[in-house]
Structure 1
Amino acid sequence: MDQGYSFLKNGIERYGIRLRFVEIKDSEFILSLRNDERLGKFISKTSNRLSDQEQWISDYKKRELKGEEFYFIVEDSQGERYGVTRLSDLKKGIPFELGSWLFSRESPPGMAIKADIIAKEVGFDTLGFNVCKFNVRRDNKSVLNYHLRYEPLIVEETDIDIYFNLSKENFNKGKQKFLKFL
């Protein structure tokens, strides 16, 4: 972690939750989220083999060390894992990408939104990006409606996905609305 991102190594605690880097020991938890039929409805399919997930995380850890990508486990104050979120495409001069936002059915109310806010704060405020890009499946109405409240720019549409760019300014305006209700 020689890129100056060592401050993230110990995790980020805000709004009563904690984001910490994914470790290989989290493979089974991540696999349980990704392969849950209901939760996995709007995400890309993944292998159900634990060894494949462990290898993916091992490869990811190399990208993390280079500061190319940050994949977080989202926990409560007792260390109970509830979800994941990821920042990728961390190259200066282009929008960072937000994705892999997935939470268990037992996740406390508001935790997924708090984690999304923290991840965006890391991208905008900590890493210094001005634009975040992400995509949402058209049929994932609740997530689509959530993201539209930030007033992102639609940059592309397919039959399956809508691709967005969200400015730092619009994020900060939208964030204040959400934090009032959390």
Structure 2
Amino acid sequence: MIIEQYGIRLKRVEFNDIELIRRWRNDPTIRKTMEYKKRISEEMQKKWFQSINTPFNYYFMIQVDDEPIGVLNCKNINLEEGYGEGGIFVWKHNAGEYIPVFASLCFLNVVFTELDIFNKSFIKVHKENKKAIVFNRSLGYVLVPGQENRDFQYYVLTREDYNRKSQKWIQLAEKLSGDLEKPKFWGVPGPLNLDVINEKLSFQAS
């Protein structure tokens, strides 16, 4: 499955991608920002991929001009309650300061609007990551009650708040990228996708 918007391509992670992800995930500058801070072995990475390569978890390589620069994910999808938990990390920071913003907008536009899967999106952010907190609050994320004293805190975004607060970011993304279209996404229907995604992919292919 591939998603494109604002000059960003999100390509669903495949087995051949996981060693590159592991190498960057083990980089000290990235590892120190993560909740799990130990080094990840090749075997651990393979087991991780097996655990997340399901219809309820979507991990994407973030690509700019065909170069992988980070990973965006949505995991632990709950269709009954209409939510998933998102995350992102970027290892090539000179690719552009707005790349994480554009990648996030691209994905949220799909799940909130094009696929209509979610009513809410959750993220977990370290309390000292002020830059991420400011950005996510500007999208409409709010701190979940009871998280105030935790190091890693959950924030929640409703579809209504996203539609209301994301417009300035979307206008900036459109202006800088020159892309005024809706997100494009395509792929081959299969058992690793949710039914609603397979239906959409089948419709687009027909």
| TM-score bracket for the superposition, by shorter chain length | 0.7 to 0.9
Q: Is the contact between residue 86 and residue 119 of structure 1 (CA under 8 Å) also seen in structure 2?
A: no
Runs of 4+ residues deviating >4 angstroms: none
Aligned partner letter, 1:100: G
Asked if residue 57 in structure 1 is aligned to residue 44 in structure 2, the reply is no
- SS of 2:78 mapped into structure 1: coil
Tell me which of the two structures has the higher relative contact order, counting C-alpha pairs closer than 8 angstroms and 6 or more residues apart: 2
1:15 pairs with 2:15? no
TM-score w.r.t. length of structure 1: 0.82
Q: What's 2:90 paired with?
A: 103
| Number of aligned residue pairs | 168
Q: TM-score, normalised by structure 2?
A: 0.74
Of the two, which has the highest radius of gyration? 2
Q: How do residues 162-181 of structure 1 correspond to structure 2 at under 5 angstroms?
A: 162-181=153-172
Question: 2:80, 2:142 → 1: CA distance?
Answer: 18
The structure 1 residue matched to 2:64, chosen from 59, 72, 76, is 76
- The counterpart of 2:30, out of the listed 22, 39, 57, is 39
**2:140 & 2:87 partners in 1: Cα distance?**
21
Give the unaligned 5+ runs of structure 1: 1-8
Distance (whole Å) between structure 2 residues aligned to residue 111 and residue 28 of structure 1: 22
2: CA distance between counterparts of 1:174 and 1:101?
Answer: 20
Structure 2: gaps of 5 or more residues: 174-206
- Work out whether residues 125 and 152 of structure 2, in 8 Å CA contact, stay in contact via their aligned partners in 1: yes
CA distance in 2, matches of 1:129, 1:99: 12
Are residue 122 (structure 1) and residue 113 (structure 2) matched?
no
Counterpart of 1:3 in structure 2 is none
Q: What is the aligned-residue RMSD (CA, Å)?
A: 1.9
Change in Cα spacing, 1:152 to 1:60, as seen in structure 2 (3 Å) is: closer
Cα 1:113/1:98, change in 2 over 3 Å: farther
Do structure 1's residue 153 and structure 2's residue 142 form an aligned pair?
A: yes
1:112 aligns with 2:103: no
